Amino acid sequence: MKAIVVLALCVAAVAALTEEEVWLQYNRRMPGEYYTKGMPVRPPYQGRIVGGVEADIANYPYQLSLRRVSHSCGASVIAARWALSAAHCTFPTPAPTAITLQGGSSNRQTGGVVFAVEQIINHPNYDDFNLRNDVCVLRTAADLSGVNIAPIALDPVGASHVAGSRAVLSGWGLDDDRQLPIMLRRIDIPVVDQALCASQWNPGWVTDDMICASEPGRDACNGDSGGPLVVAGQQIGIVSWGDSLCVGTSPGVFARVAFPLIRNWINEVTGFASIEGEQWIRDTHRHMPGAYHSLGLTVQPPNLGRVVGGVDANIADYPYQLSLRRFNGHFCGASVISGRWALSAAHCTFPLPAASSVQLLGGTADRTAGGVMFDVEEIINHPNYDDWTVEFDVELEFRRSFYNVSIFRLFRMRNVLLLGQLDGSLQTCFVLANLDGMHAMEIAVAHSLLEDIK
């Protein structure tokens, strides 16, 4: 009888915590060394996702809310029965029944699917004082599946990212009005050079198992702990610790997924090697008309991974080239055709995605770093596009102005197609592919086709 009474009191105590108290109890942390300087264990209630915007969960289907009655941390889907989060969110390790995971909803209070957790495993080398190896995995009682629920690829062992690589961070961190947001939000931030990041903090705080990202006015904060940092369609970091004001003055620090002692541990514990990082490129790859199917041919050509006969290219020579991006990873090419319009293939945006899920990167030959990122306001596929025959495979995208004319010279299809020398019925033109670096190759085009296009 006493045990029942004590249990009831414990449950009542948890339920009595306000949502804010639960949230801040598992907030993004700072290394323990801060405590010796008289700073609070938890950052004060003044953080927010500065510069963030509301996001649709359909565009971030890997995003989860880790919950102790209410939202306390972020997490990500990495396999059918496994989620990834920060160890400081689950330290000391709680009973699995104390934690649930919500997925498939932008609204942290309603909708989606709530999954019971049957196992919580913190990294064995996690240190709650200096926040090293700040990683945990959670096994669910049922498959993490449903509408708008899908796994994110993990950075491979030993991978590195150059400073300036654009990363996307999503979560339910505090907003600009210091309110606990109901709807999912996202920010785009650059990866910060490791040495520069370390110099902004006390010696020894930033270690090899960490990666930094943020910029003035943009950072992670309260409620984002454990959430995913994604570059080019792969999760590279887990929100761990940073500036208590959450304004990006000092770089935000994330657990580095690619660190061997972290990445290999994830594989060992979960028994998987994660989904392929190039999944999105393959899913939107150039494809053949559906009629080919009747001949027993594959819809998607083999993933050869190269432009045959191509050479590295300088973006200055092809300033109209854009990278069409989703989940902050390249999946198709596009081109600048006017001040606010870009041109691409309809099969890249079919079925029509939300405009907020697509971005365009221009002004850089490296698809993972540099250049300028543009948000898309409108996507219009050709009304006669046929995804079976691939006829009228054209779409237009509208965004804020391509403001740097020195980088983004407008290009006219006629002028580009007329590059090269006429040779009988064939004429050459350039085709660009944005891989890790941009590649160019010259191909023959039927003159009659050119006349039709002109």
**Average model confidence (pLDDT) for the chain?**
73
Mean pLDDT along residues 112-126: 97
pLDDT in tens, 134-177: 999 999 999 999 999 999 999 999 999 999 998 999 998 766 56
Give the chain's domains with CATH numbers.
Answer: 19-33+44-261 (2.40.10.10), 315-452 (2.40.10.10)
Among residues 71, 88, 330, 439, the one annotated as catalytic is 88
Instruction: Determine whether 123 is an active site residue.
Output: no
Instruction: Determine whether 347 is an active site residue.
Output: no
SS3 labels along the chain: CHHHHHHHHHHHHHHHCCHHHHHHHCCCECCHHHHHHCCCCCCCCCCCCCCCEECCHHHCCCEEEEEECEEEEEEEEEECCEEEECHHHCCCCCCHHHCEEEECCCECCCCCEEEEEEEEEECCCCCCCCCCCCCEEEEECCCCCCCCCCCCEECCCCCCCCCCCEEEEEECCCCCCCCCCCECEEEEEEEECHHHHHHCCCCCCCCCCEEEECECCECCCCCCCCCEEEECCEEEEEEEECCCCCCCCCCEEEEECCCHHHHHHHHHHHCCCCCCCCHHHHHCCCCCCHHHHHHCCCCCCCCCCCCCCCEECCHHHCCCEEEEEECCEEEEEEEECCCCEEEECHHHHCCCCCHHHEEEEECCCECCCCCEEEEEEEEEECCCCCCCCCCCCCEEEEECCCCCCCCCCCCCHHHHHCCCCCECCEEEEEEEEECCEEEEEEEEEEHHHHHHHC
pLDDT of residue 34: 41
pTM of the model: 0.59
Among residues 170, 214, 225, 250, the one annotated as catalytic is 225
Mean pLDDT along residues 224-249: 85
Instruction: Determine whether 225 is an active site residue.
Output: yes
Confidence label for 230 from pLDDT (cuts 50, 70 and 90): very high
Mean pLDDT along residues 269-278: 60
Among residues 71, 72, 76, 134, the one annotated as catalytic is 134
Mean pLDDT along residues 331-335: 86
